[in-house]
Structure 1
Amino acid sequence: MRRLAPLPLIALAFAVPAAAQTVPIDTFREAVKTLSSDDYEGRAPGTAGEEKTLAFLVEQFKAAGLKPGNKGSWFQDVPMVELTAKNVTPLTFTGGTGAAQSLAYGPQMVVGSYRVTPRVDVKASDVVFVGYGINAPERGWNDYAGLDVRGKTVVILVNDPDWQTPDLKGPFGGRAMTYYGRWTYKFEEAARQGAAAALIVHQTQPAAYGWNVVQSSWTGAQQVAASKDDGASQSAAIGWIQDAQAKALFARAGQDFDRLAAAAKVKGFKAVPLTGVKANVGFDMQVRRHASKNVIGILPGTQHPDEVVLYTAHWDHLGRCEAAPDGDDICNGAIDNATGTAALIAIAKEEAAKGATPRSQVFVAVTGEESGLLGSDYYGRNPVFPHAKTVGGVNMDALSMAGPAKNVVVVGYGKSDLDGYLTRALAAQGRVASPEPTPEKGFYYRSDHFSLAKHGVPMLYFDGGDDLVQGGKAAGKAYAEAYEKNAYHGPKDEFDPNWNYAGVQRDLDLYAAVGRALASTTEWPNWKPGDEFRAIRDKSRSGQ
């Protein structure tokens, strides 16, 4: 698989005014190179790669000038269970017309479980198509209305019903994905409804990634949050099936997949049993309990040390994964997210060199993002620093190495007062903020800022610009598509010695500028009136 072609360094004077390069790019580059090396084996939680990552982060945080951020410790334990499906039988559908339909594990389906159990078996389970699998009373939408799916297998569409809407108007925000569109929600709701198994139909456009991403992410060891009931309340089996296999499944029950998928977009859709069809799958489960770790460092504030500004990034990646054609089976995660982790180190070094701010600056490298935001979710539920005293923050995930851009793309643009801080920092660079061009991909719910936002903390998350100085939006689109096709969640997301750092330098300076501004003001930014997180923030702050 070919590497992403680096864009050549070019003069910026005609595009943006000169700006001082402050965040040390050499520190950033060397940290990315180290964290994404084969020695770190893809940085999977609970592996030797985690141990090396933790040691490196503590070493670098100390060298940068940070202090331990969790009551004298660098770490916050995050209880996890590693579950690895073994001896997976084919997923078979019997009944209906024709011979039994058998789906191979990996190429045609993936399956796993959130249950901590040595064996999972789903036998002769009735199959029901539940559309988008959404139960949203506040929107008058319930795909499970009048339905009892206990012991049954539900088949679900990914994304929201209105994801193909050309604008942002619709029952679920039009093109902009809501949390109801995320695969994590689909499985959560299926479990609440009592389904024995839940299968999401993979379609590249609404999922926002190809089957290769599903296969590499869902095969091998999976991390789940430890729970008091060991996942007993979850569906026995969860997974994905290929689009073509779903169409064949529906046909054996005398149903037309495309027709029912279209019907599921309309409010009032009623679930459709695939009459006579039974689902069967089984696998052994290798179980290992462990505590992964968030790494927390702090630059204490000089005047209001109890008021904190957060910088977050996830240090983990997929570890060893589905091998590339050349045999490479290490998902190194150079872009995703050695870049964000390296940004924490480099910005911490620069902020310490500039001197402490009135408020404390806290740097949190979280674990388990690739497994469903586990580390940041744990921090959100068990904050080291109270949410009511957390001013806000920035999240850094998969920084762009495409070269200098005229803009940045803000994920969740218009949601909070943090946009103003970013706009002022951008003005100093002669750049602008742009809303995300593909809100249907649901990036707002796919990174660690979401775990803090759920608790009312305003968090800013932006991607590198898509309007490149050289090549404009066409070049920006080409870079993004090449990364997604060739590298994302695969073994070829590797460090490239020929990367162009001119663009990421300016992005690093932006993150640092926004964070320092928040740590130097007395303001308390909030979500915009009417935003989904505004009431949570208001309640949190009302006691102060």
Structure 2
Amino acid sequence: MSLPVRLLRLAAALFGLAALAACASAPPPAPLVSDAEIAAIRANLTRDIAVLASDEFGGRKPGTPGEAKTVDFLIGQLEAAGLVSGTNDPGSAWRAPVDLIATSPQASGLSFEIGERGVLIPDEEGAAFTTRRRVLVQAGPDLGSEVVFVGRESDSITREVAAGQILVMLGEPGVSPQRRAALFALDPVGIVTVVEDEKSIAATRRAYGRERLLLASEEEVRLSAFVTAGAMERVLGKEAWRALEKGADEPGFEPVTIPARLTIEATSKRREFASSNVIGLLPGTKPEAGAVLLLGHWDHLGECGEAPDPICNGAVDNASGIAALLELARRLAASGPHERDIYVLATSAEEAGLLGAKAFAENPPLPLDAIIAAFNFDTVAVAPAGTPVGFIGAGRTPLDKPVLDLLAERGRTTGDPAFAEAFLRRQDGWALLEKGVPAVLVSSAFASRDVLGSYLRSDYHRPSDEPGALELGGAIEDLLLHEELVRRLADTTLTPSLGPAIAPSAPEIAADRR
């Protein structure tokens, strides 16, 4: 399936630049940047990283005083640079609400009844989790719903079989999460995953035990329970349970109703709060021609270590990306006005699953199809000057040509494409790309495993990710690259307006559907 028509229109326009070049002079090269100017850029990046990654900001966790300090700092810097609010909401200037839910498990219980016999599953052999404050479900004979064993199946299970029932599935490392997601889409009241042993239950409690952030708009009432195979043997009898396990691997397997009454209860500690994306705007002289979007996430993890240094300051991830975003905004404001609007977006809750970017995509301040290009800035202070460029999103948008052409002009090369591709869904641009927005991340930090690997192994998501002698050479080169990219894309002469139709020979840009 192809991406929406507007991307193809942009593709046609961009590929048409080669033809235009035959009858128009090539765009003038960007002016050389002096050593003094590079030193000034370095000083600005260092200063902003030091502020954002200071202990005073507490690790920039959403919903904490660190968020308030971060958001105030960002707004102050963008205002000082000459930007205006980009929320398109006079009642909420600069701050676009991101409604979040923080939830962590408190207690749970599972019990079975077989005839007159009851079996209470001890905590070390079973656990249940929900994002709601309390969920209680029952299924079994005479209760209007059943306990249904589905084995290892998900694709073959129908809504008629699953809806309103408690499903029991066999756990399988690496596969179970996707299988559960597919089964939950069929609206069961709960899913019980049978795992190997008590160690598996302990690992599950650790995985589910930490606080989770969710977008309020995406919350679903799901009850996930886990129980050991040994517990199921006690409930049903060893022979009966092993017969079910064996049958699940036989061709033509069909779901089996388990003749037991099952009660599952789970409670959670929960709070709802509003975080904020920060949105600034450099108004263009031809806003009807569309917009360029620059984005990066301001949030980090808050406290995640042990005393005496519990704060995860997030200097590289992602104070460095936000510092680059601010400096780029200053430079573009100073060189403006530009013809197209330029939006600057600092997102919340990226660390929890791109939540701020998703909130922006759900409630954008401009039509998404007006965004002709989006560039994400994340974890930029890693690579030295002269490092090849990682291109996340290559081959997925019409931006390949302008990006690659400029890299060639600057004498820069691209890095390991497979390594960059591995981060496609792990950065904010993905939330936009899913909606058809041409969004990419172009950064020397993602050039290869050799470049990024040392940071990932040492400081990533640890208290040691602190400001100090950070490597900014590659980040400065990347910033100047983006400055010229945005200058060209915001110019309707260098990047013409989209035409009303698509030439039949225009190539399709394939969407990612894997």
Normalising by structure 2, we get a TM-score of: 0.70
2:162 to 130, 139, 148: 148
Is residue 394–residue 449 contact of structure 1 (8 Å, CA) maintained in 2?
yes
Aligned residue for 1:224? 214
2:435 to 455, 459, 462: 455
2:320 & 2:204 partners in 1: Cα distance? 22
Question: Counterparts of 1:506-521 in structure 2 under 5 Å?
Answer: 506-520=477-491, 521=495
Q: Please list the CA deviations of residues 312-354 of structure 1 after superposition, one character each: whole Å capped at 9, or x if unmatched.
A: 1111222233x34x56433333222222222221110111122
Q: Please list the CA deviations of residues 260-302 of structure 1 after superposition, one character each: whole Å capped at 9, or x if unmatched.
A: 9xx99xxx99798898999987553233222211111111112
C-alpha spacing 1:248/1:401, structure 2 compared with 1 (3 Å) = farther
Aligned residue for 1:55? 72
Q: Is 1:295 the counterpart of 2:278 in the alignment?
A: yes
1:356 to 334, 337, 344: 337
C-alpha spacing 1:279/1:528, structure 2 compared with 1 (3 Å) = farther
Is residue 382–residue 445 contact of structure 2 (8 Å, CA) maintained in 1?
no
Aligned residue for 1:33? 50
2:161 & 2:44 partners in 1: Cα distance? 56
C-alpha spacing 1:503/1:445, structure 2 compared with 1 (3 Å) = same
1:435 & 1:132 partners in 2: Cα distance? 37
Q: Please list the CA deviations of residues 229-271 of structure 1 after superposition, one character each: whole Å capped at 9, or x if unmatched.
A: x94x531248xx9xxx9899999965999xx9xx99xxx9979
Match for 2:300: what amino acid?
A: H
Q: Partner of 1:403: helix, strand, or coil? A: coil
The more displaced of 289-298 and 305-314 is 305-314
Q: Partner of 1:58: helix, strand, or coil? A: helix
Is residue 144–residue 271 contact of structure 1 (8 Å, CA) maintained in 2?
no
Question: Counterparts of 1:88-237 in structure 2 under 5 Å?
Answer: 88-89=107-108, 112-115=129-132, 118-120=133-135, 148=162, 150-154=165-169, 189-197=182-190, 219-227=209-217, 231=219, 233-237=220-224
Q: Is 1:46 the counterpart of 2:76 in the alignment?
A: no
Gaps of 5+ in 2: 1-31, 115-119, 141-146, 196-202
Aligned residue for 2:94? 74
Match for 1:313: what amino acid?
A: G
RMSD: 4.6
State the number of aligned residues: 445
C-alpha spacing 1:279/1:37, structure 2 compared with 1 (3 Å) = farther
1:249 & 1:484 partners in 2: Cα distance? 39
Gaps of 5+ in 1: 1-17, 136-141, 162-180, 203-212, 468-472, 535-544
Is residue 391–residue 457 contact of structure 1 (8 Å, CA) maintained in 2?
yes
The Cα of 1:77 is off from its aligned counterpart by 1.5
2:153 & 2:421 partners in 1: Cα distance? 14
The Cα of 1:375 is off from its aligned counterpart by 1.8
Is residue 78–residue 291 contact of structure 1 (8 Å, CA) maintained in 2?
yes
C-alpha spacing 1:383/1:216, structure 2 compared with 1 (3 Å) = farther
Match for 2:444: what amino acid?
A: G
Q: Is 1:529 the counterpart of 2:508 in the alignment?
A: yes
1:220 & 1:35 partners in 2: Cα distance? 25
2:483 & 2:58 partners in 1: Cα distance? 30
C-alpha spacing 1:309/1:148, structure 2 compared with 1 (3 Å) = same
Aligned-residue identity in percent: 25
Q: Is 1:464 the counterpart of 2:444 in the alignment?
A: yes
Match for 1:288: what amino acid?
A: R
Query: Higher helix proportion, which one?
Result: 2
Aligned residue for 1:538? none
Match for 2:298: what amino acid?
A: W
Match for 1:522: what amino acid?
A: P
Match for 2:185: what amino acid?
A: R
